């Protein structure tokens, strides 16, 4: 009978340890799944930004074509002037600025993902040289 009780205690202890271990695995799995979900969301955001850039570049090409056609048309009428092309040129510049903004956003997102994957923290911003170092030269 003693051996039967000992086996029951061993099984109970083993089960308790296993249950605790499984709980820990569950918590870690949840963390990994959440992190994976965040990474997928970031990747889809970057993909959407790339698609937006392609669309904007197509719009920009259409504007350039429109500017060229208008310039040729006005030059045949001897009415070509900077003022006549001001609006389509401003529209093209605006699209270029939107593309640049989206590219900056992509860079920011990819840097964030790189930092997360490498485990590093946000890099410190570069600061101006310290006042106490001004005028001092390094000894060689």
Nearest to 95 by CA among 65, 69, 139: 65
Mind listing the pLDDT tens digit for each residue in 58-104? Answer: 999 999 999 999 999 999 999 999 898 999 999 999 999 999 999 99
In whole angstroms, give the CA distance from residue 84 to residue 45.
Answer: 39
- Identify which of 32, 14, 10 has the alpha carbon closest to the alpha carbon of residue 22: 14
Contact between 112 and 102 (Cβ < 8 Å): no
Q: Compute the average pLDDT of residues 25-40.
A: 89
Q: What size, in residues, is the chain?
A: 140
At 74 the pLDDT is 92
Structure confidence at residue 57 (pLDDT): 96
Query: Residue 87: how many CA atoms within 13 Å on its side-chain side?
Result: 3
Strand, coil or helix: what is 7?
A: helix
User: Does an H or E element contain 28, and which?
Assistant: helix 2-76
At 114, the pLDDT band (50, 70, 90 cuts) reads confident
Q: Return the pLDDT at 136.
A: 53
CB 121 within 8 A of CB 115: yes
Contact 102, 46 (CB under 8 A): no
């Amino acid at each position: 009978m003693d051996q039967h009780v000992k086996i029951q205690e061993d099984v109970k202890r083993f089960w308790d340890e296993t249950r605790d271990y499984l709980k820990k695995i569950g918590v870690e799995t949840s963390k990994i799944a959440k992190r994976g979900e965040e990474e997928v969301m970031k990747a889809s955001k970057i993909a959407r930004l790339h698609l937006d850039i392609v669309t904007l570049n197509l719009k920009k090409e259409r504007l350039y074509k429109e500017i060229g056609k208008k310039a040729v048309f006005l030059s045949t009428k001897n009415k070509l002037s900077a003022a006549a092309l001001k609006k389509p040129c401003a529209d093209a510049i605006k699209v270029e600025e939107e593309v640049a903004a989206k590219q900056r956003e992509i860079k920011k997102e990819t840097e964030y993902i790189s930092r997360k994957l490498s485990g590093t923290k946000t890099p410190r911003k570069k600061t101006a040289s310290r006042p106490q170092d001004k005028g001092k030269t390094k000894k060689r």
